[in-house]
A and B are shown apart, each in its own frame.
Chain A
Amino acid sequence: MSQAQHDAHDGHGDHGSPFIQHHFDDGQHQFDTGKLGIWFFLVQEILFFSALFVAYILYRNHHPEIFAYAHHYLDVKWGAINTAVLIVSSLTAAWSVRAAQLNQQKLLVGLLAATIACAFGFLGIKYVEYTHKIHEGILFGNRFDPCVSSGGEALPNKKNHCHGVKSSVVWDAKTKAAAKGCLEGDFDQDPAMARIQASCEVAEVTFQGTGAKRVEQSRRSIVACDTTPLEGKTGWAARRPRAASSASPCWELINNPWVCPKGPAAMVYYGDHAARGHQIEIEVANCKAAPKPTEPTDVFGDVVRPGGPGQATYVRHEPVSKHELALEVSNGPPPPHTNMFFSIYFAMTGLHGLHVLMGIFVYIWLLIRATKGQFGPAYFGPVDYAALYWHLVDLIWIFLFPLLYLIH
């Protein structure tokens, strides 16, 4: 319709491009007007995101411990790669404007395609991150039910779909204690050591199907885990219990008061998806403590202090730096309301991701128009305006990345 009005009403002189609309004086007027329009739109977008930044700042101010704990769940590597991807896409977007201005049609098409590719790369990485979080139960609101602590320690199962750890302990969320399954009876353990190895005989292993009360005698054998530290790795990755073969589960005796305040418990680790969903109970008997080492073996480097009569000769090493303290905290269970961090994380990255997606649609539209040769020095407004929008998307990520991923 407007095309017909154009032809009938061309009293404005030569426009140089069929895309100059009739109510503008000329191409320059249209370009300047569009530019002002997109800048007002970007200001509006800044305000749109501002409320989420307000929420972030307020919550972090009030609950720094939640943020310090929870950010370890995020992988800095992916965040940094995403930052780099967006910066590259900003370059290609800015360059595409230059290409249009200089009538470099092939370069323009290539750069627009590159921007779209980078955007897809960003969304792909976000997909990887999000699916990992869904898998591990690290979500917002009521759905925050992680498989591991942020330091990587296994957290007891609360009926989530975590793979890798399934405890023989049934956890009661209300009392925050083991409902059943902790080993009873005394055997010689040093309560000061958080993780102990002992030799026990496996008396009976019970698998209970979810829902059905089927009890089977050890459908497969469960062996004791191998916890010798792995060479070349540190921290949890080095100490992670491993079974002899990856398909079968392994068990380990742990003395973790969060899991079982009364004393030791048996934890089962497995990477076998088929066995997940079963509640496994292990009855062990005739446990004997591992011989006490004469050298300190605590990861932080034990301090050996002679105690008085009747006192333990090994004391827990007190963490000397905030880093070590944070590491110790992060090995424990999440502080209350840690879900708030993820509410904000998903709200901010989700909204940002939506804007990336919308940008992809805009750029695909531009790409199609560019392949038809519609842009050139006389008319490149849409390329310029889309690039400005894209830069804003990049700008927001520039702030999101350190705020969410790089908390110290």
Chain B
Amino acid sequence: MSTTHDDENTKSYLEVNPGWRNWLVTLDHKRIGMMYLFGILGALLLGGFFALLVRAELFMPGLTFVGKDWYNKFFTLHGAVMVFLVIIPGIPAALGNMILPIQLGAPDVAFPRLNLASFYLWCAGATLLLLAVVLGGVDTGWTFYTPYSLQSQTAVLPAVLGAFLLGFSSIFTGLNFLVTIHKFRPAKMGWFQMPLNVWALYATALMQVLATPVLGITLLLLFVERFIGIGVFDPTLGGDPVLFQHFFWFYSHPAVYIMILPAMGVVSELMTVFCRKPIFGYRFIAYSSVSLALLSFLVWGHHMFVSGQSRLANMVFSALTFSVGIPSAIKVFNWASTLYKGDIRLQTPMLYALSFLILFTIGGLTGIFLAILSVDVQLHDTYFVVAHFHYVMMGSALVAFLGGLHYWWPKVSGRMYPERLGQYCAVGVFVGFNLTFLPQFVMGSRGMPRRYWDYDPEYWHYHQASTIGAFILGISLFIVVCYMMWSFKNGKKASQNPWGGTTLEWSAPTPPTLYNFPEPPELHELYVYDDLVEDEANGNWVRKPASGSRPAGGH
């Protein structure tokens, strides 16, 4: 069962210690990341299934196939599964776990056993959410607002407990990444020689560690209140339901940045590699990542503009929310400038990255619209908000997740996915997504409320377009998951550096060995592509012999 010294340096991590029992107790970050990936893709399909149920009901006004009670459960479960099981863990837990240590040239994360514990917590949380589904679902909305969540007769307790455990999974992952980045960089890799993906994961991890515990205590209080009636949020006992919202959004606003920052990190990597030129404004992107993480703690009240929050707080939060758009805008400018005069390769990861750029711009701008207090009073709880957050959470975060998945898939699985099919699905995702959510902006500004199962006939055509788009999107995503699974066994064998990247993971074997690097890797200048040439025969990029010395480090 134990490996020999040779095995560790020659066999890939997929082959060493085979058998599902060894996978379940593995301490290898790559195996843990792969297991997360399978779970997260499964949850994506489950959450997507609920989304299609929601959209199917909305295809026609009036009762289409379920009534309001089931509809409430469908959108709640769609939200809870997607937010807690897919998007928040998404890039950090799946891609980050697999790639972060390799990008740092490290043999593993700082605390491998804690990493495994994080995965088990994710599984426990997922099981509890599934239990909630099986026990008849939850109908409170994924936000579990009191007092309804205290009174609802649905399976709130397992759902809340599941989300609580998922919160701790997230905290421990973030803790692990923070310590890994501090303590496991090679001597020559200073803070400003780190890949931007690492910067993004660092900023994300800061938020995970600082914000998620507040979700933990909020859900714990909600659980205890339902269970034994402790009464902090119940107005009939003197409690304050708006206090629940303060607690909830103190986490959930940074949570949305936990969702988007790793995506931005991935996009930074993709932009530079697929334009064959250094990223524009490395330090600006690095600083803006951290400042976005810090600023995200100051704006949570913008979710509560119409919930009875005081006028003073409303104005303060509205003003602060404008500031939080600045770091994101800086990044968008930098990516666009990277594209300028770049040698753009439109392979699947780049298609996702370009989609991100467009969709994030729309999503981010509409967020600024909603930050305007007077506008939000009109648009709160309408489809405008739904469209906004789907543009940023799905059109940006999920799209970047897919881009990163395709980008790193050759490295972690040793196989190429089918490129042509990948490109078609990327287009299918883009088209389906826009068809689903663009009409929702219009609907929302015309007054269509969210979380409603029935609507006036004036919105019918928007809903129809939206539902058709949702099915196109769903089918494309389903095909993506299918061909990824297929390529695991049947894809073309991948070379060591199929994209010509300069970060350290491309110096590791494909797939990596147990401790990632048989020999300590050589650090090259980050994001400088002059030295790399493509070997047309096998699609591998190799380095020309170096001529003269260059100072290490990015801009």
Interface residues of A (CB under 8 A from B): 1-2, 4-5, 8-9, 21-23, 29, 32-33, 36-37, 40-41, 43-45, 47-52, 54-55, 58-59, 63, 140-143, 336-337, 339-340, 343-344, 346-347, 351
Contacts and interface: CB of A to CB of B under 8 A. Distances in A.
B107 interface: yes
Contact of B178 (A40, A55, A142, A143): A40
Contact of A1 (B2, B8, B221): B2
Given A1-B2, A43-B209, A55 B232 contact: yes
A86 B8 CA distance: 48
B183 A32 contact: yes
A206 to B, nearest CB: 35
Interface of B (DSSP majority class): helix
Contact of A47 (B3, B111, B182, B214): B214
B57 interface: no
Nearest to B238: A337
Interface stretch (B239-247, B288-296, B495-503): B239-247
B358 interface: no
Interface in B4-54: 4-5, 8, 25, 27
A209 B89 CA distance: 60
Interface in B288-328: none
Given A33-B110, A44-B210, A340-B231, A52 B217 contact: yes
B95 interface: no
Which 4 A-B pairs have CB atoms at the shortest separation, nearest pair first?
A337-B238, A141-B231, A4-B2, A48-B213
Nearest to A39: B179
A257 B225 CA distance: 35
Contacts of A36: 178-179, 182-183
Interface of B: 1-5, 8, 25, 27, 106-108, 110-112, 114, 171, 175-176, 178-179, 182-184, 209-214, 216-218, 220-221, 224-225, 228-232, 234, 237-240, 243, 246-247, 250, 515
Given A55-B232, A142-B229, A48 B3 contact: no
B183 A29 contact: yes
B210 to A, nearest CB: 6
Interface of A (DSSP majority class): helix
Contacts of B4: 8
18 contacts: A1-B27, A4-B1, A5-B8, A8-B5, A9-B8, A21-B112, A23-B112, A32-B183, A40-B175, A40-B178, A43-B210, A51-B218, A51-B247, A59-B240, A140-B230, A142-B237, A340-B232, A351-B217
Contacts of B216: 48
Nearest to A62: B240
A44 B171 contact: yes
Contacts, number: 122
A51 B179 contact: no
A344 to B, nearest CB: 7
B158 to A, nearest CB: 20
A37 B111 contact: yes
Contacts of A32: 183
Contact of A23 (B176, B210, B515): B515
Contacts of A141: 225, 228-231, 234, 237
Contacts of A29: 183
Given A29-B183, A340-B231, A343-B237, 14 more contacts: A2-B27, A4-B2, A5-B8, A9-B5, A23-B112, A36-B182, A37-B114, A45-B213, A47-B210, A51-B214, A141-B229, A141-B230, A340-B237, A347-B232
Contact of A340 (B3, B229, B238): B238
Nearest to B231: A141
Contacts of A52: 217
Contact of B110 (A5, A37, A58): A37
Nearest to B224: A347
Contacts of B108: 23
Contacts of B182: 36
A51 B243 CA distance: 10
Contacts of B213: 44-45, 47-48, 50
B537 to A, nearest CB: 35
A180 B210 CA distance: 57
A37 B218 contact: no
B519 to A, nearest CB: 12
Contact of B175 (A4, A41, A143): A41
B2 A5 contact: yes
Contact of B231 (A21, A23, A140, A351): A140
A233 B492 CA distance: 90
Contacts of B209: 40, 43-44
A4 B8 CA distance: 12
A339 B179 contact: no
Contacts of B3: 5, 8
A48 B217 contact: yes
A31 to B, nearest CB: 11
Contacts of A43: 209-210
Contact of B214 (A1, A4, A40, A50): A50
A292 B332 CA distance: 89
A262 to B, nearest CB: 30
A8 B209 CA distance: 36
A2 B28 CA distance: 11
Contacts of A9: 5, 8
B25 A1 contact: yes
Contacts of B112: 21, 23
A385 to B, nearest CB: 11
Contacts of A2: 27
Given A33-B183, A40-B209, A44-B209, A23 B107 contact: yes
Nearest to B225: A141
Contacts of A50: 213-214, 217
